[in-house]
Amino acid sequence: PRKIAEILVARLEAKASGVQEVSVAGPGFINMKLDPSWLDRVIPEVLAQDEAYGRSGYGAGHRVQVEFVSANPTGLPHMGNARGAALGDAIASLLDAAGYQVSREYYINDAGNQIEKFGQSLEARYLQELGQDAEFPEDGYHGQDVTDTVRGYIEKEGDGLLTEEPEKRRLILAEYALEEKLSHIREALTRFGVRYDNWFRESTLYETGAVEHTLEVLRSRGYVYESEGATWLAATKFGEEKDEVMIRQNGTYTYFAADIAYHLNKIERGFETLINVWGADHHGHVARMKGAMGALGQDPDRLEVVIMQLVRLFSGGEMLRMSKRTGRFVTLDELMDEVGVDAARYFFVMRSADSHLDFDMDLARSKTSDNPVFYVQYAHARVCSILRQSGVPDYGDGDVSLLTEPAERELTDRIARLPGTIVLAAQAREPHRMCTYAHELAGLFHSFYASCRVLGVEPELMKARLKLVDATRITLRNVLTLIGVSAPEKM
């Protein structure tokens, strides 16, 4: 390889393209050293683009839908949902910045079995609250929030349901609770900084006949059969270990049947790529969902599922279990109260999705340097402080070629890498890379700060450095915005 490299280098005419020097190194690498003036183009461009800096047209308007959180509206969003929210939103933002046309969606499971269970739980609490003897379903929702909801209902609507048909009673209570939960979920996610383009209700798939239609499509393609009183999907035909029930013996559709209809619906709405962010407890669903796409005659690769490993919550050195069933879990709201939105979002995005996340509440709660989000935010605050105190009304004519210190060059170099980093992170659907980038950029700025004074140096150099500082501000802010973390001007 070295000899080949030498032959190539001898024939390269690099000077014309801004390359200062070409050399062979190591086992046969061809190193091209850019002309120092190459970096001088960076800062003016960043200042000119401002909020658009980092964005690119890489995705060429390709239509992508990101579906995330989609927590059952039978409870409040918990830590796992919070990770999904931070992750999904950041992935969507990354794709948007990389030039894709992105739509964020929340799938509301307002139909099916769990709603039935929800109704039973509500009914039991309702009766109990009104002094009746009612048995609480074993696999019901044990959370205190169910009782709270019921109390609120009684306060508003009274005890009229005592005389209602049980089935209708459950339906009324479930509908009431569903809307209440849903509005809490919206509020919590809004507070968390997440905005959805669409909230999609599972129930509409039944109302519009989409589920039946989907089943017909599958049937016509030879993937459906009847057995033991149930209707099955021949999943083994597309490589699954066993077939799956679509319609139960009791005539109701399974979650899987509705989910296939939902994904067909997404395709029909014109999304070219579908990205779902799911918890690890759903990973068994991935292969059969992709297989079902194929069975529908769609390209399975259009569906991508980002699986995130579960969150373990530690407080006071003790691990807390999270379960809606037992009702013992930390809600997204409680998390935001405890550690704030910025720390929470940074913590969730910081780690790659396929690592387990041990969320240390005590650490996130602490406002000390142990907390990595402060390191990055502090860099931004320092930047703003310099700009605020500079007293220089206009440094637009600053000459950035005066920036020759190693710390200045390294900082500029890293600033220049934002657009490429965003594209790579978007391609890989890995927003944690942006945290790594932000942390490195902040570190380079802190080093620069320690070795190069800005204010009070001779005027021409000061103006050049103010430009660099301003470009750092823009870059830090744009990265933080991308992951949903604020960029404070003072700390």
Closer to RNA by CB, 44 or 488: give it.
488
Residue 216: CB partners within 8 Å, gap ≥ 6? none
Q: What is the number of other CB atoms lying within 10 angstroms of the CB of residue 281?
A: 11
Site for RNA in 290-349 (CB under 7 A): 307, 309-310
Question: Closest Cα partner for 263 from 218, 231, 221?
Answer: 218
Closer to RNA by CB, 127 or 379: give it.
379
395 binds RNA (CB under 7 A): no
Among the listed ranges 6-14, 124-132, 245-253, 473-481, the one in contact with RNA (CB under 7 A) is 245-253
Q: Tokens at residue 289, please? A: 């969902």
456 binds RNA (CB under 7 A): yes
State the binding string over 398-427 for RNA (x if CB under 7 A, else -).
--------------------------x--x
CA dist., res. 489 & res. 371, Å (int):
18
- What's the Rg (C-alpha) of the chain? 28
Closer to RNA by CB, 114 or 128: give it.
114
Where b means 16+ CB within 10 Å and e means fewer, 210-245 reads bbeebbebbeeeebbeeeeebbbbbbeebeeeebbb
Please say whether the beta carbons of 374 and 366 come within 8 A.
no
H/E segment holding residue 479 = helix 459-482
CA dist., res. 53 & res. 308, Å (int):
29
Site for RNA in 179-208 (CB under 7 A): none
Residue 471: CB partners within 8 Å, gap ≥ 6? 42, 43, 46, 47, 412, 415
State the binding string over 62-81 for RNA (x if CB under 7 A, else -).
----------x---------
CB of residue 445 to RNA, shortest distance in Å: 9
Site size for RNA (CB under 7 A):
79
H/E segment holding residue 275 = strand 273-279
CB of residue 129 to RNA, shortest distance in Å: 26
Candidates 249, 326, 401, 404; binder of RNA (CB under 7 A) is 249
Closer to RNA by CB, 144 or 250: give it.
250
389 binds RNA (CB under 7 A): yes
Please tell me what DSSP assigns to residue 323: B
Closer to RNA by CB, 315 or 352: give it.
352
Candidates 81, 93, 103, 109; binder of RNA (CB under 7 A) is 109
Closer to RNA by CB, 216 or 354: give it.
354
447 binds RNA (CB under 7 A): yes
Closer to RNA by CB, 196 or 445: give it.
445
12 binds RNA (CB under 7 A): no
381 binds RNA (CB under 7 A): yes
Closer to RNA by CB, 332 or 422: give it.
422
Closer to RNA by CB, 121 or 153: give it.
121
Candidates 136, 378, 392, 481; binder of RNA (CB under 7 A) is 378
385 binds RNA (CB under 7 A): yes
Residue 278: CB partners within 8 Å, gap ≥ 6? 84, 285, 286, 305, 306, 307, 308
Among the listed ranges 59-67, 77-85, 87-95, 251-259, the one in contact with RNA (CB under 7 A) is 251-259
In angstroms, how far is the first alpha carbon of the chain from the final one?
53
Site for RNA in 125-184 (CB under 7 A): none
434 binds RNA (CB under 7 A): no
Where b means 16+ CB within 10 Å and e means fewer, 16-50 reads eeebeebebeeeeebeeeeeeeebbebbeebbeee
CA dist., res. 251 & res. 234, Å (int):
18
CA dist., res. 327 & res. 457, Å (int):
61
CB of residue 169 to RNA, shortest distance in Å: 21
CB of residue 448 to RNA, shortest distance in Å: 8
CB of residue 446 to RNA, shortest distance in Å: 3
367 binds RNA (CB under 7 A): yes
Q: Tokens at residue 140, please? A: 């019901």
Q: Tokens at residue 322, please? A: 């999270």
Closer to RNA by CB, 154 or 392: give it.
392
Closer to RNA by CB, 154 or 381: give it.
381
Site for RNA in 21-50 (CB under 7 A): 25-29, 31
